Amino acid sequence: MARQATLSFSPESIASLNNSRNYENGPTGHNMRGMFPGLKKRGHNIGSRSWILIDPNGDSKIVELDKFTVMRRCSLPSRDLRLLDPLFINPSSILGREKAIVVSLEQIRCVITSDEVILKNSLDGSVQQYKSELCKRLETSRDQYDDLPFEFKALELALELTCTSLDSQVKELELEIYPVLDELASTISTLNLERVRRFKGHLLALTQRVQKVCDEIEHLMNDDGDMAEMYLTEKKEKRDNLTISDSSDHINTSEDVKIVSKSAPVSPVGSSSGVNKLQRAFSSMSSSKHGSLLSSSSGQENIDQLEMLLEAYFVVIDNTLNKLLSLKEYIEDTEDLININLGNVQNQLIQFELLLTAATFVTTVFAVVTAVFGMNFEDTVFENPNTFNWILIVTGVFCVVLYLAFFMYFRHKKIIPL
């Protein structure tokens, strides 16, 4: 006869159960999610975003993937995915990982693996251009022989579109700013100065973006280890070959164990110890083989292909950077010319002020003399009516000579140009 299971509940457990139900339903008996409609259950597509998957055949599709799925799919840490977030303004960077290349160049943000490209789905023109151009090139190269791996084709297109976009922006800035600078050099006005100030801020921001891309490419070219990490197809083939060789060694070892067990009867202790020895030998052999393969791959990695690819686009982005530096120097030369013109005008105002001050002093001397003799007091000078006229003439001549003396002194000291 089967026993019946009985459950006993204590008053404390029943009270805690009721409290938990009340907390879930809320103080008014309704569900807490009814009070906060924005709340979502955990695990229901949190962080899911739209991605574009492009395979080596040039086929693309749009899928919804969350952050953790992308991390597991590409073996990436979470900090690398922050570079792909369009809500954050991150500087341009190219990171080589074990199974993927993380590319964040201007508007093109994607993860490149040996089998696919995971691209942020966006309505931005650069993203759509990258998608269409990559699919077109992959479809074209499918019928043609091309020794460039899939990951390098995707990386090359990202570098090409980024360098082309930055160069076009620099050309547009040159077409806008050169006429304004020429006009400012001839006519200094507040409107022209404001326009140049705005263009100068745009130039500074664009220079920083181009400089970051140039530094990132140069950093990759100088680090052979980072370039070796980007050979994803070659590393995948080596991992597959290593897995096949390990599985074949495991089969051969198991067959040897069977042969040994059938050939001679041994004691149970001895047989188990023999199997353990064989297993230890197999593990040590596989680990040594794995280490030798990795060391040979890292020591003899041919990175010339990627280095030439990076060098070609480094020349392009460096030329763009030189255009920006030349434009910056032209702005600085224009500013120097404006400062020279302003200094010249200021010097002319100072010279005019000196001449005006000297004339004021001479006029004051003439006015003082005439005022003294024009006072109402008795003097023999006033007995002859023409005497006062001679006083005015002599005072005027003296003032003119004094003014000429000031003027000659200024020219002697080179305060006034000859």
User: Measured between alpha carbons, how far is 371 from 388 in angstroms, rounded to an integer?
Assistant: 12
The pLDDT score that the predictor gives to residue 418 is: 61
Characterize 50-73 residue by residue with b for buried, 16 or more Cβ atoms within 10 angstroms of its Cβ, and e for exposed.
Answer: ebbbbebeeebeeeebebeebbeb
Q: Are 334 and 181 in contact (CB under 8 A)?
A: yes
Pairing status of strand 108-112 against strand 117-120? antiparallel
Which tens digit of pLDDT belongs to each residue from 205-223?
999 999 999 999 999 999 8
The pLDDT score that the predictor gives to residue 8 is: 44
With CA atoms as reference, report the closest residue to 190 among 49, 338, 396: 338
Instruction: Tell me the HSE value of 243 on the side-chain side, using a 13 A CA sphere.
Output: 6
Helix (H) or strand (E) holding 117: strand 117-120
The pLDDT score that the predictor gives to residue 314 is: 95
The pLDDT score that the predictor gives to residue 245 is: 64
Q: Which residues of the chain have pLDDT under 50?
A: 1-46, 257-301
Q: Express the helix, strand and coil content of the chain in percent, nearest 5 each.
A: 70, 5, 25
Write the CA distances from 130 to 73, 110, 213, 217, 324, integer angstroms: 22, 10, 18, 19, 25
The pLDDT score that the predictor gives to residue 250 is: 54
User: Measured between alpha carbons, how far is 4 from 21 in angstroms, rounded to an integer?
Assistant: 29
Q: Are 98 and 73 in contact (CB under 8 A)?
A: no
Characterize 299-328 residue by residue with b for buried, 16 or more Cβ atoms within 10 angstroms of its Cβ, and e for exposed.
Answer: eebebeebeebbeebbebbeebbebbeebe
The pLDDT score that the predictor gives to residue 214 is: 93
User: Measured between alpha carbons, how far is 102 from 82 in angstroms, rounded to an integer?
Assistant: 11
Which tens digit of pLDDT belongs to each residue from 154-202?
999 999 999 999 999 999 999 999 999 988 888 888 888 899 999 999 9
The pLDDT score that the predictor gives to residue 83 is: 82
The pLDDT score that the predictor gives to residue 246 is: 60
The pLDDT score that the predictor gives to residue 210 is: 94
With CA atoms as reference, report the closest residue to 108 among 169, 156, 49: 156
